[in-house]
Amino acid sequence: MKLPSTTPASPVNIAWFTLGVGRICLGKKPDDNYLKQLAQSGVTHLATVQTSAESGRSYEAKAEASGLAWVWLPFDIAQGATPNEEAYIKQYLTELKALLNEGASIYLHCDGTQQRCSLLLYALCLNKGMSTSSAYSVLHSFGKNAANQLPRGALEWAAAIGAK
């Protein structure tokens, strides 16, 4: 496990977590200007964890206009995930792992709480073979909001999704 590193020479100071040969970070909802800065900072993929009801799909054209590949990973845990939705989330983990194995630099975002992207990152770390304590430490490395605001039940749910 490699703790996040920063890239101070880039327009945006990003705390990266290296996972495989790629890297991933958690971040705020980006506006058009921030998307351009992300591209200049070495981000290759914008991964949006927002549903259609949240206008998640609106990031596709914005990301591509900024030179970023776009990945849509829509889910909403507030409603409780059905078995079908959980199957999609497992598919998202497979897609993220493939991108990371290709060396992608993924900027993962959801809403202002960052709960869903934090849970997805936690599940991804577990799916890549990390222990729960190491995966939780990864969340803490992105700040207290990435881990401390997650209910235990949500972490258990993400752990079950991330289990191989």
Mean pLDDT of each 10-residue bin along the chain, 164 residues long: 49 88 94 94 96 92 96 82 89 97 96 89 95 93 81 92 86
Which domains does the chain show, CATH number per domain? 2-162 (3.90.190.10)
pLDDT of residue 9: 47
Task: State pTM to two decimals.
Answer: 0.89
Helical residues (DSSP H) of the chain, grouped into ranges: 32-40, 59-65, 83-101, 115-127, 132-141, 144-147, 152-162
pLDDT of residue 68: 97
Expressed in percent and rounded to 5, the helix, strand and coil fractions of the chain are: 50, 20, 30
| Residues 6 or more apart in contact with residue 76 via CB below 8 angstroms | 51, 53, 116
pLDDT of residue 75: 87
Query: Biggest alpha carbon distance in the chain?
Result: 44
Q: In what order do the strands lie in the sheet with 22-27?
A: 2-6, 15-19, 22-27, 105-109, 45-48, 69-72
pLDDT of residue 6: 46
pLDDT of residue 80: 67
pLDDT of residue 13: 84
Burial class (CB in 10 A: 0-12, 13-18, 19+), 70: middle
Among the listed residues 85, 84, 75, 88, the one whose alpha carbon sits nearest the alpha carbon of residue 115: 75
